Each structure stands twice: as structure tokens, then as C-alpha cells.
């Protein structure tokens, strides 16, 4: 099997080593937390114009966004069933725009080192079939997202 997580850079805004590590480790945390092993996922970094085009084509929103999730499964149960059966599992694709992540940080006063893993975790939760009804912080998926983020940030701080 290929590498389970593949990072593809299709932008001149190439990530540094710490950014690459945060992207891969935050995605891996979600996979581990849900017992998903031997599954493939691609994470593609694109520029502002490319993510705007994707957002328009797939969501009907003619504006750039920070991250898009393209899951291949509808539910976590379907993923686990295929993983347990030994079938090849391609979870889907995340598309991320680092320019938009930085803009989020500027507008919402978040640090990049916190916002980047938050968005990867958010996208990964969508990849495994989780949804949210709103962006209210009490929404169950967003509560779960913040719990996973706290765990990730705690783990990252003890590694450094």
C-alpha cells in the first residue's frame, strides 16, 4: 500500500517543515482516534484562486475558503467495515489554502500554529462522515474538534 497520508503541493506558497508536520500529524491523530489504519488520504495545498474555483464548482460558493473536504464515504461505520474487511480504503481528499488559513488568523486573532491543526482536524472529521449543523461552538462536531485540537496541541507541546 502507498503512504497512507500524501501531501501534494500545488502552490508557490510551499509549507515549511513545521507546517508540513502539523498537517500530517493532525490528520494522523484523527485516524488513530477512530481506529482507522491502512487507509489512504491525500491533502493538497492550493492557492487562493484554485480553492475559490473548487468552492464555486462543488459548493456553489464563489469565494475562497480555507479547507474543503471530499470524502469517499458517508459514515465512519462504512469506513471501519471496509478497513476490517481488508478492502483498500481511500478516505478522500482534503484541499487546503494556506493563504486563507493566514487570513483567518489575521481576522479572528488566532495563531497559525493553532488554526492550521484546527482546520485539518475539522476537515478530517468531515472525511470520516461527521457533520455540523452550524458553526456554534456547542455543535457536537465542533466540540469534538476542539477536544481533538486540545489533545493535539498538548501532545505537540510535550514533543518540543
Fold of the 5-159 domain: Collagenase (Catalytic Domain) (3.40.390)
What residue ranges do the domains of the chain occupy? 5-159
pLDDT of 14 higher than 70:
yes
pLDDT of 2 higher than 60:
no
Contact between residue 37 and residue 87 where contact means Cβ atoms under 8 Å apart? no
Output the pLDDT for position 87: 84
The per-residue pLDDT for range 48-81, each reduced to its tens digit, is 999 999 999 999 999 999 999 999 999 999 999 9
**DSSP single-letter state for residue 109:** T
Backbone φ, ψ for residue 52 (5° rounding): -65, -45
The 10 Å CB-count burial string (b at 16+, else e) for 59-74 is: eeeeebbbbbbbbbbe
pTM score: 0.93
The per-residue pLDDT for range 21-38, each reduced to its tens digit, is 999 999 999 999 999 988
Output the pLDDT for position 1: 42
Of 13, 38, 27, residue with least CA distance to 117: 27
pLDDT of 8 higher than 60:
yes
Of 8, 22, 19, residue with least CA distance to 117: 22
Q: What is the pairing mode between strands 39-45 and 89-96?
A: parallel
Indicate the pLDDT class of residue 88, thresholds 50, 70 and 90: confident
Contact between residue 15 and residue 23 where contact means Cβ atoms under 8 Å apart? yes
Indicate the pLDDT class of residue 160, thresholds 50, 70 and 90: low
How far apart are the C-alpha atoms of 47 and 11, rounded to whole Å?
5
What is the spatial order of strands in the sheet that 89-96 belongs to?
5-9, 39-45, 89-96, 67-71
Instruction: Look up cell 452550524; give the residue.
Output: 134
The per-residue pLDDT for range 98-151, each reduced to its tens digit, is 999 999 999 989 999 999 999 999 999 999 999 988 888 889 999 999 999 999
Of 109, 132, 120, 128, residue with least CA distance to 156: 120
Amino acid at each position: 500500500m502507498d503512504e497512507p497520508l500524501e501531501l501534494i503541493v500545488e502552490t508557490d506558497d510551499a509549507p515549511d517543515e513545521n507546517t508540513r508536520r502539523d498537517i500530517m500529524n493532525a490528520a494522523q491523530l484523527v485516524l488513530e482516534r477512530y481506529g482507522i489504519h491502512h487507509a489512504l488520504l491525500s491533502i493538497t495545498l492550493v492557492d487562493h484562486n484554485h480553492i475559490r474555483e473548487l468552492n464555486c464548482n462543488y459548493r456553489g460558493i464563489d469565494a475562497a475558503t480555507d479547507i474543503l473536504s471530499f470524502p469517499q464515504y458517508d459514515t465512519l461505520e462504512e469506513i471501519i467495515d471496509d478497513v476490517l474487511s481488508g478492502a483498500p480504503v481511500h478516505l478522500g481528499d482534503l484541499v487546503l489554502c494556506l493563504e486563507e488559513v493566514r487570513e483567518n488568523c489575521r481576522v479572528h486573532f488566532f495563531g497559525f500554529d493553532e488554526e492550521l491543526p484546527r482546520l485539518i482536524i475539522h476537515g478530517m472529521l468531515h472525511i470520516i462522515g461527521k457533520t455540523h449543523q452550524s458553526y456554534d461552538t456547542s455543535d457536537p462536531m465542533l466540540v469534538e474538534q476542539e477536544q481533538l485540537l486540545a489533545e493535539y496541541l498538548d501532545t505537540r507541546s510535550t514533543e518540543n
